[in-house]
C-alpha cells in the first residue's frame, strides 16, 4: 500500500498548517452518525486514496482523525461520516452547512485500487467501519469493469445504526455487487426483516472463491479476531486480507506516539495494513 | 582540538549573554538540583554536575508550545501554523543528552520534518561538557553514551586551568572566533583521551550485564513474560513521570484552546507519556493498553526494541533520570534490562 505522510495540496512549509474546509452539506442517519460534505478552498480536490484519513480541526474544540468515506471517483467536495462520541465529534454534529473546519491530510496508507485491479473483492464492515470501506466500495462500483466479483457483508449492533440507507438498498437490489447484512439484535421499537446475529454468522453464507478473493475488513477492535478466525476456517489465505485499524491519534504524522503498534504507526504505516504485516505484531491484537 | 583558559571562556560566554540575540542557558545549581536555566553570568555555570533534573530537550521541544493559531475576523477564517525559531545557546550538555538530541534530530528533522522542532534545533548552539560526575542511577557507560564524538557544536573537557575544546561544527568554530584560543598540545589531546577512556567510565556505579546490542532481542523474547511485567509494575502509579523526565521520550498530545470571549485561539502541544492511563484509549471504552503492566511493558519495548526496529537507535541513553524521579521506585531500566537478561539466560538453560 502506498504510504503518504505529506498532504497533497499545498500546505506551505509547515506540515501542521490546515486549510479551510467549508461544510457544504450534512445528513443525519438514524443513529448517532452524520454525513458531512466538505469543500476545500477553490474547489480543490482532496486527492485521497480510498481508506486514507484526514485530521479535522474544530475551532476551539479539538482535532481528530476521520476516514474519507467518499470515493476519489466522486468529483468535488469529499465526505466524512462521523459518530458523536466525544468533544470533537459532538461539536461537529452541532455544526451546519456554511461553517468552517480545518483539514490536514490526506494521511496514511489506503487501499491502492491498482493492487485490486481484476480481482474479486469481499468487503467486511462492522458498524462505523463501513465509513472507510465505502470509499473503496464506491470506487469499485464507479469503475466496475476494472474489478472482478464484488461482495459486501455489513453488520451493525442494531438497525438504527445502519449508514447510507439509500446506497444499501441499491447495493442489495443492483447486479453490480452481492450484498449481505445483519444486526446483532433488533430492539422491540425498531424494525428489521433481515437476519440477526453477529457478523461472523453470515460470512460463511457468502459465495466467494476463497483462494483468490481479496478481503478488506474494517470494524470495531473486537471484530477482527473473530472475523479473521472465520476467514481462516474458510480457507482464505492471510496474504489476501487487508485490515483498516483504528488507534488513538494526535498528529497523523508518525510522531506523537499514540497510534503505535510495535514499531509501526497506524497513521503512516496504516490505517490500511496488509494482514501479514500486522499478524505477528503483538500490539495489533488481530 | 583547541584550548581556552577558563577566564577567557567565561568572558566569551558573558559577551555572548550580553550580545547574542538568543537566550544563553546553562547548567546551574538551584540549591537542590542541577538544572538547565537562563544564564545571567558565566560564573553561575556548574559544569561539575552529575545530572540535570530535565534534559535540554525542554528547549527544543518545550513541555508546552503553540503549534497553530486560528482567527475568525468578519467571516474570514484563518489558520496559521506556528514554529517559533527561538533557538538557544545551551552550555554544558553531557554526552548522553547529546546522543538523545541526535536521536530526536533523526526523527524530527531527517525523517519526518517537524517544523517547530527544526526551527528551534537549527537555531541553537550546543556546547557539550564531558562528565566530571555521574548520578548514582546513571549507566551511560554501558549504553555507550558516556562520551560522544558527534552531536555538538563544541565539546568542553575540564583540564583544571583550561578547557580543551573539540569543534564539532563550523558554527562552533565561529563561536570561538573572537576569543583567545590556541591549539592543544599533544599532552593535552592525550589527557582528554585519558579522561574519556578512564575517568568517565569510572564515574558509574551501575552497569548493564550484557551488550546493549542484545536489548532488542531480549525484550522481544520477554514480550509475553506477563508475570515479570505484572510483578514489576505492581507498585507503579501510572504518573508518567518516567516519561516526562526522559530525554529520548518525545510523545505528545495536542490541545485546542479558545481565547475566552473571542473567536480566536490556538493549538498547543504538550508532552504526553505512554504510562498515563488514557494514552492509547479510543472511543467506545476501548483502551489498547488498559493494564498498567501493558503500559509498563510498552515503555521498555519502545525504548529498547521498537525504536531500534524503526530508526536503528536504542532509545535509552542511560541517564538514570527515570530511576531517580520515580516515587514508586520501579522505573529503573538498568535493573529491568538486567533482570530480563537473566530471565532469558535461565530459560536457555
Ligand atoms: C484512522 C482513523 C479513522 C477514523 N475514522 C472515523 C470515521 O470515519 N468516523 C468516525 O466517527 N470516527 C472515526 N475515527 C474515530 C474518531 O477519530 C474518534 O471517534 C474521535 O477521535 C473522538 O474524538 P472526540 O473528541 O469526539 O472524543 P473525545 O472527547 O476525545 O473522547 C471520546 C473517546 O475517544 C477517545 N479518543 C480521543 N482522541 C482520540 C483520537 N484522536 N483518536 C481516537 N480516539 C480518540 C478518547 O480516549 C475517549 O475514549 C477514526 C479514527 C482513526 C484513528
Ligand atoms: S514507573 Fe514510576 S515514574 Fe513511571 S509511571 Fe510508574 S510510578 Fe510513575
Ligand atoms: S529510560 Fe530512563 S535512563 Fe533511559 S534515557 Fe530515559 S530517563 Fe534516561
Ligand atoms: S497519530 Fe501521531 S504517531 Fe500516529
Tens digit of each residue's pLDDT, chain A (286 residues) = 333 333 333 344 789 999 999 999 999 998 899 999 999 999 999 999 999 999 999 999 999 999 999 999 999 999 999 999 999 999 999 999 999 999 999 999 999 999 999 999 999 999 999 999 999 999 999 999 999 999 999 999 999 999 999 999 999 999 999 999 999 999 999 999 989 999 999 998 899 999 999 999 999 988 999 999 999 999 999 999 999 999 999 999 999 999 999 999 999 999 999 999 999 998 888 8
Cell reading at B123: 537555531
Among A84, A65, A82, which Cα is nearest to A23's? A82
Q: Helix or strand or coil: residue B196?
A: helix
Confidence of residue B76 (pLDDT cuts 50, 70, 90): confident
Question: Is A256 known as a binding-site position?
Answer: yes
- What was the pLDDT predicted at B298? 95
Q: B272, A19: Cβ pair inside 8 Å?
A: no
Contacts of B344 (CB under 8 A, 6+ apart): B218, B221, B222
| A17 backbone dihedrals φ, ψ, rounded to 5° | -80, 115
Q: What is the dihedral of CA A128, A224, A286, B303, to 10 degrees?
A: 20
Say yes or no: B254 contacts chain A, CB-CB below 8 A: yes
Q: Cβ contacts (< 8 Å) between A253 and chain B: which residues?
A: 112, 114
Cβ pair B239, B299 in contact under 8 A: no
Give the A window 34-63 contacts with B, CB below 8 Å. Answer: 57-63
- Fold designation for A19-107: Elongation Factor Tu (Ef-tu); domain 3 (2.40.30)
* Ligand positioned closest to the Cα atom of B51: 3
| Closest Cα in chain A to B252 | A256
ipTM: 0.90
- What was the pLDDT predicted at B347? 79
Tell me how far apart the alpha carbons of residues B265 and B210 are, in angstroms, rounded to a whole number. 51
Closest CA of chain A from B5, distance in Å: 43
Atom of ligand 4 nearest to the CA of A256: 2
pLDDT tens-digit readout, B4-47: 999 999 999 999 999 999 999 999 999 999 999 999 999 999 99
DSSP letters, B136-147, are TT--HHHHT-SS
Tell me how far apart the alpha carbons of residues B207 and B78 are, in angstroms, rounded to a whole number. 54
Cβ pair A119, A236 in contact under 8 A: no
Q: Cβ contacts (< 8 Å) between A5 and chain B: which residues?
A: 112
Using a 6 Å cutoff on CB, does residue A128 contact ligand 1? yes
Cβ pair B257, B268 in contact under 8 A: yes
Of A258, A270, A273, the residue with max ligand 4 atoms within 8 A of its CB, to mutate for a pocket test, comes to A258
Say yes or no: B347 contacts chain A, CB-CB below 8 A: no
What radius of gyration do chain A's Cα atoms show? 18
Mean pLDDT of B277-304: 91
Confidence of residue B348 (pLDDT cuts 50, 70, 90): confident
- Domain residue spans in chain A? 19-107, 113-244
Neighbouring-strand partners of residue A218: A125, A244
- What was the pLDDT predicted at B1? 96
Mean pLDDT of B280-297: 89
Q: Could you tell me the CA-to-CA distances from A134 to A28, A69, A152, A153, B337 in Å, in that order?
A: 17, 6, 10, 12, 46
Cell reading at B35: 538544572
Say yes or no: B110 contacts chain A, CB-CB below 8 A: no
What radius of gyration do chain B's Cα atoms show? 22
Question: Is A251 known as a binding-site position?
Answer: yes
- What was the pLDDT predicted at B85? 86
Tell me how far apart the alpha carbons of residues B127 and B187 are, in angstroms, rounded to a whole number. 23
pLDDT tens-digit readout, A56-93: 999 999 999 999 999 999 999 999 999 999 999 999 99
Using a 6 Å cutoff on CB, does residue A251 contact ligand 1? no
Tell me how far apart the alpha carbons of residues A105 and B19 are, in angstroms, rounded to a whole number. 42
Q: Helix or strand or coil: residue B256?
A: strand
Q: Helix or strand or coil: residue B161?
A: coil
Cell reading at A18: 490546515
Grid-cell match 498498567, residue found: B292
DSSP letters, A17-41, are --EEEEEEEEEE-SSSEEEEEEE-G
Q: What is the DSSP letter of B221?
A: H
Put simply, whether the predicted model's pTM sits higher than 0.95 gets the answer no
Question: Is A156 known as a binding-site position?
Answer: no
pLDDT tens-digit readout, B209-232: 999 999 999 999 999 999 999 988
Tell me how far apart the alpha carbons of residues A76 and A43 are, in angstroms, rounded to a whole number. 6
- CB atoms under 10 Å from CB of A25, counted, come to 13
Q: Does an H or E element contain B127, and which?
A: strand B125-129
pLDDT tens-digit readout, B176-210: 999 999 999 999 999 999 999 999 999 999 999 99
> Would you say residue B73 has pLDDT above 90?
no
Among B94, B129, B124, which Cα is nearest to B109's? B124
Say yes or no: A239 contacts chain B, CB-CB below 8 A: no
Give the number of A-B residue pairs with CB atoms closer than 8 Å: 124
Ligand 4 is surrounded, with C-beta below 6 A, by A 249-252, 254-259, 265-267
Among B125, B80, B83, which Cα is nearest to B101's? B125
Return the CATH architecture of domain A113-244: 3-Layer(aba) Sandwich (3.40)
- What was the pLDDT predicted at A3? 37
Tell me how far apart the alpha carbons of residues B294 and B301 are, in angstroms, rounded to a whole number. 10
Cell reading at A30: 438514524
- CB atoms under 10 Å from CB of A280, counted, come to 9
Q: Helix or strand or coil: residue A54?
A: strand
What sections of chain A are H helices per DSSP? 87-93, 130-142, 165-173, 221-234, 275-279
Tell me how far apart the alpha carbons of residues B130 and B146 are, in angstroms, rounded to a whole number. 8
Q: Cβ contacts (< 8 Å) between A53 and chain B: which residues?
A: none
Q: Could you tell me the CA-to-CA distances from A131 to A46, A124, A134, A168, A228 in Å, in that order?
A: 17, 12, 5, 13, 20
Given 3-state DSSP classes, what are the helix, strand and coil percentages for chain A, each rounded to the nearest 5? Answer: 25, 30, 45
Q: B267, A283: Cβ pair inside 8 Å?
A: no
Nearest to A258 among B77, B115, B279 (CB): B279
Q: A248, B272: Cβ pair inside 8 Å?
A: no
Of B53, B57, B250, B316, the residue with max ligand 3 atoms within 8 A of its CB, to mutate for a pocket test, comes to B316
Tell me how far apart the alpha carbons of residues A60 and A62 are, in angstroms, rounded to a whole number. 6
- What was the pLDDT predicted at B232? 87
Q: Does an H or E element contain B125, and which?
A: strand B125-129
The dihedral of CA A158, A163, A164, A170: what is its sign? negative
Say yes or no: B280 contacts chain A, CB-CB below 8 A: yes
Amino acid at each position: 500500500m502506498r504510504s503518504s505522510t505529506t498532504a497533497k495540496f499545498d500546505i506551505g512549509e509547515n506540515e501542521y498548517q490546515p486549510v479551510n474546509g467549508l461544510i457544504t452539506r450534512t445528513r443525519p442517519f438514524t443513529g448517532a452518525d452524520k454525513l458531512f460534505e466538505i469543500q476545500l478552498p477553490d474547489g480543490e480536490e482532496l486527492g485521497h486514496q480510498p481508506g486514507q484519513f484526514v485530521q479535522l480541526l474544530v475551532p476551539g474544540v479539538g482535532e481528530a482523525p476521520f476516514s474519507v468515506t467518499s470515493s476519489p471517483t466522486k468529483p468535488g467536495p469529499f465526505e466524512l461520516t462521523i459518530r458523536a462520541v466525544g468533544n470533537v465529534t459532538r461539536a461537529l454534529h452541532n455544526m451546519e452547512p456554511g461553517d468552517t473546519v480545518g483539514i490536514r491530510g490526506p494521511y496514511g496508507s489506503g487501499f491502492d485500487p491498482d493492487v485490486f485491479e481484476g480481482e474479486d473483492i469481499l468487503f467486511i464492515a462492522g458498524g462505523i467501519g463501513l465509513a472507510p470501506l465505502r470509499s473503496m466500495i464506491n470506487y469499485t462500483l464507479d469503475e466496475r469493469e476494472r474489478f472482478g466479483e464484488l461482495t459486501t457483508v455489513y453488520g451493525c449492533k442494531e438497525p438504527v445504526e445502519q449508514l447510507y440507507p439509500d446506497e444499501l438498498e441499491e447495493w442489495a437490489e443492483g447486479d453490480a455487487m452481492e450484498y449481505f447484512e445483519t444486526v446483532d439484535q433488533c430492539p422491540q421499537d425498531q424494525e428489521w426483516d433481515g437476519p440477526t446475529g453477529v457478523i461472523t454468522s453470515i460470512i460463511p453464507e457468502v459465495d466467494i472463491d476463497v483462494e483468490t478473493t481479496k478481503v478488506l475488513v474494517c470494524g470495531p477492535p473486537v471484530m477482527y479476531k473473530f472475523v479473521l478466525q472465520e476467514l481462516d476456517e474458510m480457507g482464505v489465505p492471510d496474504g489476501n486480507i487487508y485490515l483498516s485499524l483504528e488507534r488513538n491519534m494526535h498528529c497523523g504524522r508518525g510522531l506523537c506516539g499514540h497510534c503505535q503498534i510495535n514499531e509501526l504507526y497506524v497513521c503512516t504505516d496504516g490505517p490500511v495494513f496488509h494482514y501479514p504485516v500486522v499478524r505477528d505484531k503483538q500490539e495489533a491484537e488481530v | 582540538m583547541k584550548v581556552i583558559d577558563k577566564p577567557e571562556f567565561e568572558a566569551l560566554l558573558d559577551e555572548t549573554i550580553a550580545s547574542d540575540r538568543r537566550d544563553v542557558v546553562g547548567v546551574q545549581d538551584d540549591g537542590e538540583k542541577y538544572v538547565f536555566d537562563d544564564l545571567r553570568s558565566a560564573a553561575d555555570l556548574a559544569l561539575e554536575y552529575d545530572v540535570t533534573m530535565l534534559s535540554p530537550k525542554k528547549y527544543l521541544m518545550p513541555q508546552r508550545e503553540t503549534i497553530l493559531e486560528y482567527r475568525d475576523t468578519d467571516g474570514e477564517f484563518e489558520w496559521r501554523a506556528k514554529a517559533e525559531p527561538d533557538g538557544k545557546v545551551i552550555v554544558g550538555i553531557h554526552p548522553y543528552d547529546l546522543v538523545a538530541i541526535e536521536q530526536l534530530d533523526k526523527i524530527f528533522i531527517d525523517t519526518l520534518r517537524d517544523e517547530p522542532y527544526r526551527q528551534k534545533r537549527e537555531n541553537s548552539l550546543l556546547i557539550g561538557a564531558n562528565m566530571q560526575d555521574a548520578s548514582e542511577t546513571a549507566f551511560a557507560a554501558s549504553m555507550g553514551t558516556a562520551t560522544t564524538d558527534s552531536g555538538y557544536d563544541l565539546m568542553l573537557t575540564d583540564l583544571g586551568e583550561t578547557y580543551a575544546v573539540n569543534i564539532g561544527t563550523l558554527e562552533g568554530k565561529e563561536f570561538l572566533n573572537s576569543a583567545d584560543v590556541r591549539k592543544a598540545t599533544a599532552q593535552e589531546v592525550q589527557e582528554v583521551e585519558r579522561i574519556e577512556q578512564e575517568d568517565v567510565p569510572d564515574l558509574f556505579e551501575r552497569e548493564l550485564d550484557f551488550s546493549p546490542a542484545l536489548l532488542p532481542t531480549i525484550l522481544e523474547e520477554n514480550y509475553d513474560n506477563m508475570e515479570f511485567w505484572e510483578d514489576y509494575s505492581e507498585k507503579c502509579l501510572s504518573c508518567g513521570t518516567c516519561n516526562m523526565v526522559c530525554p529520548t521520550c518525545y510523545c505528545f498530545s495536542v490541545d485546542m484552546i479558545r481565547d475566552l470571549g473571542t473567536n480566536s485561539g490556538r493549538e498547543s502541544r504538550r508532552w504526553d507519556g505512554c504510562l498515563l492511563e488514557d494514552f492509547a484509549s479510543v472511543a467506545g471504552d476501548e483502551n489498547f493498553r488498559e493494564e498498567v503492566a501493558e503500559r509498563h511493558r510498552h515503555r521498555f519495548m519502545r525504548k529498547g526494541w521498537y525504536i531500534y526496529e524503526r530508526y536503528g537507535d536504542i532509545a535509552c541513553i542511560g541517564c538514570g533520570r527515570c530511576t531517580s524521579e520515580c516515587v514508586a521506585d520501579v522505573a529503573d531500566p538498568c535493573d529491568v534490562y538486567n533482570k530480563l537478561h537473566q530471565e532469558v539466560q535461565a530459560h536457555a538453560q
